[in-house]
Structures are given as structure tokens and as C-alpha cells.
Amino acid sequence: MPANKRPRRVNYSVNKKGPKAGNKVMKAVAHYKTLQKRISFEWETKWLQNAMKVVMVKLKKYQINLNKI
């Protein structure tokens, strides 16, 4: 390979690249709150129980304390 070729691995603009996980924490908290509202309105259905399990795993992953929500 000739020496005057540009490197292919670094062919993106670093300054224009944004964060990949910008709003994940905020969306997980919002999802938890909407599920709480639905549970108080519809009671606990099987679908809501499964959705709550998924949200609880996300909150644990992001180390969010449920007492502070």
C-alpha cells in the first residue's frame, strides 16, 4: 500500500460525533413512571408485570435508586 493513502479507520469527523447514549437514563425513569400510572389505573396485568421487570433491570443497570424517583 502506498504511503500517500489516507487511513480508512479514521475517516469520520470527531468534532461532529454526538453521544450515543444521551437520553437513556431519562427515558428509563419516564417509562417507570408511566408504568406506575398504568398499574394504578389498570391493576397488575401480566403484560405490565413483564414490562416492569424490564424497566427494573434498566434502572438497576443505570444505578438509579427507586426511592429518589
Q: What is the pLDDT of residues 29-68, one digit of tens each?
A: 999 999 999 999 999 999 999 999 999 999 999 899 999 8
From CA 5, how far away is CA 22, in angstroms rounded? 35
Secondary element (H or E) of residue 60: helix 46-61
**pTM for this predicted structure:** 0.69
64 and 29 Cβ atoms separated by less than 8 Å? yes
Q: Which residue has the higher pLDDT, 22 or 49?
A: 49
Residue 10 pLDDT = 61
